[in-house]
Amino acid sequence: MPAAVPSIADTILKLLPADGTPVLNRVVRVMLAREMERAVDPDAFFAALDLLQKKSRIGRLRGQGGQVFVLQSESNARSEPVKEPAEAWSEAQLMAPLRAYLEGTFRKGLDLPAEAACIIHDTSRIGQPGARWARPDFILVSAMRFRLMPGAQLDVHSFELKAEAGVTDLAVYEALAQTRFTHFGHLVWHLPDGSKAEAKLAEIEQQCEQHGVGLIRMRDPKRPDACEIMLDPERKTTLPTTVDGFLEARLMDEHRQDILRVIHGARR
């Protein structure tokens, strides 16, 4: 048996939901690669599963990609330490940490010039209540003039925030639908380490990539700087007239004036 197999087996056991929820083998492999920060050889992966099964630590469901789950035995229950339940955060409680992240780490990552405008605005309660999926939780608007070429560039990002248990493929479609009015759509998911919802991460990431939606993982709301960009969004070719009407209806007058100053080249 290769020396790495027991270490891989221990890591797999740590990643699997303790309540025995089955997880697809391909999802476990993605989680394992991220945890170990390297690709894991398939032979070593399945050897680790064989080892865990021989020790009666896991069960396996064959076919359709295969699934693996923790066996709930009395001996396992005694050997595993009891964990306190993680703090449950609602979407309303996550709004402030998201704003802090957007105003800090995310904004710095855009690398905007000093003279650019960058507006971060809570739009979760703005817009027609009946308009389906037209109310992003936040928008970020950046405006900057070109240094040599004539004209300016305006980019609008929309952010759809979801709590730990609130993400399905519908959340991806919601973030995508918001790009009817913006250039970039992002799904922000509060997904702590060790969450049962991690089993859905690979599927959600695949859906986001398919539709050109960005995916941001918020691991710990108490540390907004710890948010991780899992996928960058694709820029959508949204009509300028649509973007203009969207911003006109949602931005405050001071925000609009700030953008106009930059676009028209006026000094602040």
The CATH code of the domain that includes 225 is: 3.40.1350
On whether residue 204 sits in a domain, the answer given is yes
Q: Which two tokens stand for residue 122?
A: 């809570």
Instruction: Give counts: helices (H), strands (E), the chain.
Output: 10, 9
pLDDT digits (tens, 9 = 90+) for 137-152: 999 999 998 877 888 9
- Domain C-terminal end among 56, 79, 102: 79
CA distance 165 to 89: 10
Phi, psi of 231 (to 5 degrees): -145, 140
On whether residue 14 sits in a domain, the answer given is yes
Q: How confident is the model at residue 75, as a pLDDT?
A: 44
pLDDT digits (tens, 9 = 90+) for 81-135: 444 445 689 999 999 999 999 999 999 999 898 899 999 999 988 866 555 567 8
Q: Which two tokens stand for residue 159?
A: 């952010």
- Pair 57, 128 in one domain: no
Helix H or strand E segment including 32:
helix 25-36
Range of the domain at 98: 91-263
Q: What is the mean pLDDT of residues 167-180?
A: 93
- Pair 175, 216 in one domain: yes
Query: pLDDT at residue 201 above 60?
Result: yes
Q: How confident is the model at residue 121, as a pLDDT?
A: 96
- Pair 53, 96 in one domain: no
- Pair 216, 128 in one domain: yes
- Could you tell me if 69 and 21 are in contact, meaning their C-beta atoms sit under 8 angstroms apart? yes
Helix, strand or coil for residue 231? Answer: strand
Q: How confident is the model at residue 230, as a pLDDT?
A: 94
- Domain C-terminal end among 79, 105, 130: 79
- Pair 26, 109 in one domain: no
- Of 79 and 92, the structure prediction assigns the larger pLDDT to 92
CA distance 51 to 58: 9
Query: pLDDT at residue 62 above 80?
Result: no
Model confidence at 206, in pLDDT bands (50, 70, 90)?
Answer: very high
Model confidence at 78, in pLDDT bands (50, 70, 90)?
Answer: very low
- Pair 126, 200 in one domain: yes
**How much of the chain is helix, strand and coil, in % rounded to 5?**
45, 20, 40
pTM: 0.68
- Pair 155, 199 in one domain: yes
Q: What is the mean pLDDT of residues 37-47?
A: 87
- Pair 114, 72 in one domain: no
- Pair 195, 227 in one domain: yes
Q: How confident is the model at residue 233, as a pLDDT?
A: 96
CA distance 204 to 65: 17
Q: Which two tokens stand for residue 23?
A: 């997880």
CA distance 48 to 10: 8
| CATH number of the domain that residue 15 is part of | 1.10.10.10
Model confidence at 59, in pLDDT bands (50, 70, 90)?
Answer: confident
- Could you tell me if 141 and 119 are in contact, meaning their C-beta atoms sit under 8 angstroms apart? yes
On whether residue 138 sits in a domain, the answer given is yes
Burial of 204 (0-12, 13-18, 19+ CB in 10 A): buried
- Count up the domains in the chain and report the number: 2
Q: How confident is the model at residue 129, as a pLDDT?
A: 56
- Pair 148, 183 in one domain: yes
- Pair 120, 194 in one domain: yes
**What value does the mean pLDDT of the chain take?**
86
Q: Which two tokens stand for residue 38?
A: 């390297």
Query: pLDDT at residue 179 above 80?
Result: yes
Q: How confident is the model at residue 265, as a pLDDT?
A: 79
On whether residue 84 sits in a domain, the answer given is no
Q: What is the mean pLDDT of residues 30-46?
A: 86
On whether residue 86 sits in a domain, the answer given is no
Q: How confident is the model at residue 41, as a pLDDT?
A: 87
- Domain C-terminal end among 79, 112, 135: 79
- Of 225 and 100, the structure prediction assigns the larger pLDDT to 100
- Could you tell me if 42 and 48 are in contact, meaning their C-beta atoms sit under 8 angstroms apart? no
- Pair 67, 140 in one domain: no
